Amino acid sequence: MIHARELTKHYPDLRHGRLVALDAISFDAAPGQIFGLLGPNGAGKTTALRILSTVLKPTSGTVTINGFDVVRQPAEVRRQIGFMSANTAVYDRMTAWEMVEHFGRLHGLAKEPLAERMRLIFDRLKMNEIRDLLGAKMSTGMKQKVSVARAIVHDPPVLIFDEATAGLDVLVARALLRTVAELRDQGKCILFSTHIMREAEKLCDRIAILHRGRILAEGTLGELRDRHREHDLEELFFRLISEHDERQETLGRESRTAGPLP
Amino acid sequence: MNWSNVRLILAREIRDQLRDRRTMFMIFIVPILTYPFLGMIGLGISQVAQQKPTRILVLGESHLPESPALIEGDRFAARLFRQPSMAKLLELHRGNQDSRSAVDEGSGNKAGPRRGSGAAPSRSAGFTETSARSAVEAGTYDAALIFPPDFGRRIDACRAAAQRRDQPPQVPKPKIIYTTAVERSQLACDRLRIVLERWSDEVARSFLAAAGAPEWSMTAVDVEAIDLAGETGYRGAAMWSKILPVLLILWSLVGAFYPAVDLCAGEKERGTLETLLSCPAARSEIVLGKLVTIMLFSSLTAVLNLLSVAATGPMMFSQLPGFGPPPALSPLWLGLALLPASALFSALSLALAAFARSTKEGQYYLMPLMAVTIPLAVLPAAGGLELTLGNSLIPVTGLVLLLRAALEGNYWQVVQFAVPVLAVTSGACVLAIRWAVEQFHSEAVLFREGERLEVRLWLHHLREDRGPTPTPAGAVFCGIVILMIHFFMSLHWAPPTDFGRFAVTVAVSQLVVILTPALLMTVVLTRSPRQTLLLQKPPWLALPAAVLLAIALHPAAHVLQKAVMHLYPLSDAMQEALAGLESLFAHVPWWQIVLVVALAPAICEELAFRGFIFTGMRNAGSPWRAIVVSAAFFGLTHGILQQALIACLIGVLLGWLAWRTNSLFPGMVFHLVHNALGVLVGRLPPWLETEWPSLSWLVRPAEGGGVAFAWPLVLAGIGIGLAILAFLARLAPSRLGPRETVLFGT
């Protein structure tokens, strides 16, 4: 469903000349599966998801979603995905109903079927009481519900959640994770980025640990535990990242002290 | 283009704006309240300013003639005012000039009234002219009127001379002392002048009476002015035609800017832009939806402001001469002009707002936009600028002038210049819309994040991370540095008096102003001077082709130059200066002229503009953008508008040559031949006359100076030039691509 190959992204950067946000990462995500991108802040998760949602273009590498290339067929890709960005962004001067309806119409849904689907979604996400509330007056949890509704209103086969539970209280976060699990059970292919180990442990079928633009490890939770002989995901995560940083530091030191060849 | 998406985005944006209190305030409340409020304040202020009496110190009253009386009692004579009651507006204070001053000259206010001390006439103690000056400067009096000794006696003597038909004696001039630095003093002077002019008329009448001439001889020729505007319904059009276009332009700009900032920078700030970009609407559909929304609000703001002015203006200004109701067809003309004006400003505002990271940053961009627009809109309204073909080609100014002509009922002018004005405005609109769409495609713009500016870090980055060729920012910086140095050095340049000084001026200008910044930046900011300055071997046929191209296109360039001079005629002073310059070349050997006027610029300007700037701009991607930007900088360094326009066009050709040949040398050769021909062609007609008399019809001396090429020669030159361009276009395009290509090889 999602196939990323050698995905690379560079940004121009004043401090470093260029910043390598993604360094040739590859992964696959299948339908009925939650693929977790686990990484600390600045690991490149948001960049990867922005490329998948066609908002950014990769410097090199390819990504196909449901058979469509994100660079060559961005319009088709956008019809296949529901994207929920890192911030709980909703329009301040639109009600919950208007907002979801607007994006449903942009996805080409006709008025009546759209209204029917929205009623279902609003019931399922328990959003009827905020139906006519303006975005500016919503709490973070309400905004997150609206964002989920907006992302799934056109019933896309692929859903991309970027730090979906960031800033949510435990109750709202749990409800959201339950919704994501239900969507997986409906056969959706879900890409879920997070830096919270417990979420990844509970929710994700496959996990890729991303750090400084590189995938350090990838597999099911069981595979990762077996491969690295570490039961606790948080410990595993910490160890992989520390080892990687130490390796990088050693390489940097060696290259600085080596000097020119005689 | 999916129009359904555009419609959906448009509907959402309109609804969003209509729910925004700030937008509603700007669009509906400001126009409704502003003009009546401003009118009330303006009328109030003018009433206060007009009615407040001004204090006049009169010295030498005893020197006035007995008749006609200027001063009656404690006031200037009431008959000398338009309305007798206005006599109290000139408050009279007598100073005794004859006695020695009892007042210290540095503080002449000791004896006089202080500000606001009441309107009662007073007799001030002895003043001299010096102490009167001090008193006016100190603000004790608003003006002083001084009659010299012997003034009255001389007037009487003049009258007697008139009676005897003798030569009159000279009359010494009375003086008004005032200061334009103080508005009240200026007002006092104006009032005094009116009174003294009327009194002077009375004196003249008394002379005529003494000479036995009838009094009507003072107004023997009475001119009747017939105002056709009153008959044709265009009374007051002159004032409205200046005010309404400016209001239309300014309010369509302001009305576009605030919604644009909210729709783009605001959307970035709120984080909803990312969501919108990942939905199926294409970027062009998003831009169009937003653009139409902004245009709608821009138009609405302008219309409501104009309606408010139309409702309150005539009432406020009805008392002023020349101010009638606006012409009946004003709504039609304003409505027609509103569409291009709001389209232009909406696209510009959208592009600027897309660049801003936040609404706060977006609002900072309003001032530069206003700073560019206001002179273009206000200067033609201020008068002195007529609707000509040249002026009609200036964006905004052309539109304002066209609208002015329509409001004044000059329909023939409208018919003549509507096409160029609309073509230029539409062109500017299309460019602005393309810019806005580009902004929405640029990741660097859409996801621009604030980066702390550290000079040390930046300098380190410039040095350590420099590429083989300059960055686009470096190229623009180089262009700006050259323009700045050029501007400041031009302030100190004096017109050369001989060819030697001229040669030194050109050398300094080329070496210091143009070449040095480009070379310094090449060394400091790039790793490959050869690649940066395009010092690469061109295809061998490109050099002779460039020589032929310059020769073939020279007659056409000459015609183009004449056309530009016709569109934008040089001022008399400039013509004189250029003629003086040409006279310096008269007796100089041709090779010296070529060295100074052709070779030096061909080397220096090509290294800077087609070398550093063009190569740097190439790293932004589009070769045409690089060609246009380098040509624009090249044109701007030529100072005079007429020369700049032609240089800009030649710069496009030179940029194209650099792009196609990937080398600076063909451009240098073209530049050298073009400039040399420009100076030496004046020597061609006499030479042809003596050497090739049968060909002398091809180049003749022109009537207004210079030379004129025969049209067959011009057309043949264009044909040959196009053939050479086609040949050069078949050469492999430049191998030098964008900077990323060089850096990462992708």
Q: Two tokens at B349?
A: 């505002």
* Least Cα separation, residue A15 to chain B (angstroms): 7
Beta bridge mates, B124: B95
Q: Report yes or no: B97 and B128 within 8 Å, Cβ to Cβ.
A: yes
pLDDT at B114 over 60: no
pLDDT at B48 over 70: no
pTM over 0.80: no
A-chain residues within 8 Å CB-CB of B278? 53-55, 78, 81, 83, 85
Vertex B359 angle, CA B355 and B362, to 5°: 45
Q: Report yes or no: A157 and A31 within 8 Å, Cβ to Cβ.
A: yes
Please tell me the CATH superfamily of domain A2-258, with its number.
Answer: P-loop containing nucleotide triphosphate hydrolases (3.40.50.300)
Domain boundary assignment for chain B: 3-33+236-446, 49-217, 532-744
Q: What is the pLDDT of residues A117-149, one digit of tens each?
A: 999 888 888 888 888 999 889 888 888 889 889
Nearest residue in chain B measured CA to CA from A95: B16
When CB atoms are compared, the residue of A60, A90, A103 closest to B279 is: A103
Q: What is the pLDDT of residues B513-556, one digit of tens each?
A: 899 999 999 988 888 889 889 898 888 888 999 999 999 999 99
Beta bridge mates, A29: A2
Between chains, do B271 and A87 touch, taking CB under 8 Å as contact? yes
Q: Two tokens at B438?
A: 């580009």
Sole residue written with tokens 């030379």: B707
Q: What is the pLDDT of residues B246-268, one digit of tens each?
A: 889 988 998 898 889 888 888 88
What pLDDT, on a 0 to 100 scale, did the predictor assign at position A88? 64
Beta bridge mates, A34: A190
Q: How far is CA B699 from CA A180, B281, B558, in A?
A: 84, 60, 11
When CB atoms are compared, the residue of B4, B274, B744 closest to A89 is: B274
Rg (CA), chain B: 35
* Least Cα separation, residue A61 to chain B (angstroms): 10
Q: B459 exposed, middle or buried (CB, 10 Å; 0-12, 13-18, 19+)?
A: exposed
**What is the widest separation between alpha-carbon atoms in chain A?**
78
pLDDT at B746 over 90: no
Report helix, strand or coil for A161.
Answer: strand
Rounded CA separation B663/B655 (Å): 10
Looking at this protein, which amino acid is placed at residue A243? E
pLDDT at B322 over 70: no
pLDDT grade for B198, boundaries at 50, 70 and 90? very high
pLDDT grade for A260, boundaries at 50, 70 and 90? very low
Between chains, do B461 and A15 touch, taking CB under 8 Å as contact? yes
pLDDT grade for B735, boundaries at 50, 70 and 90? very low
**A152-166, B6-20, B29-43, B328-342: which range is least confident on average?**
B29-43
Rounded CA separation A145/A156 (Å): 17
- If one compares A107 and B30, the residue with the highest pLDDT of the two is A107
What pLDDT, on a 0 to 100 scale, did the predictor assign at position B7? 92
Closest CA to B300 of B565, B710, B24, B75: B24
Nearest residue in chain B measured CA to CA from A156: B279
* Least Cα separation, residue A186 to chain B (angstroms): 22
When CB atoms are compared, the residue of B8, B16, B277 closest to A55 is: B277
Disruptive mutation site among B13, B270, B279, B285 for chain A (greatest number of A CBs within 10 Å): B279
Sole residue written with tokens 């040739």: A24
Domain boundary assignment for chain A: 2-258
Rounded CA separation B385/A4 (Å): 63
What pLDDT, on a 0 to 100 scale, did the predictor assign at position A254? 66
A-chain residues within 8 Å CB-CB of B461? 14-15, 17
Report helix, strand or coil for A4.
Answer: strand
B-chain residues within 8 Å CB-CB of A87? 271
DSSP string, B1-67: --HHHHHHHHHHHHHHHHT-HHHHIIIIIHHHHHHHHHHHHHHHHHHHHHHS-EEEEEE-GGGS-SS
Q: Report yes or no: B265 and B273 within 8 Å, Cβ to Cβ.
A: no
Closest CA to B414 of B335, B333, B342, B338: B333
* Least Cα separation, residue A54 to chain B (angstroms): 6
Rg (CA), chain A: 20
DSSP string, B77-127: -GGGSSSGGGGGGEEEEEE-SSSPP-S-GGGGGGTSPPTTS-S--EEEPP-
Average pLDDT, chain B: 81
Average pLDDT estimate for A103-125: 89
Between chains, do A12 and B271 touch, taking CB under 8 Å as contact? no
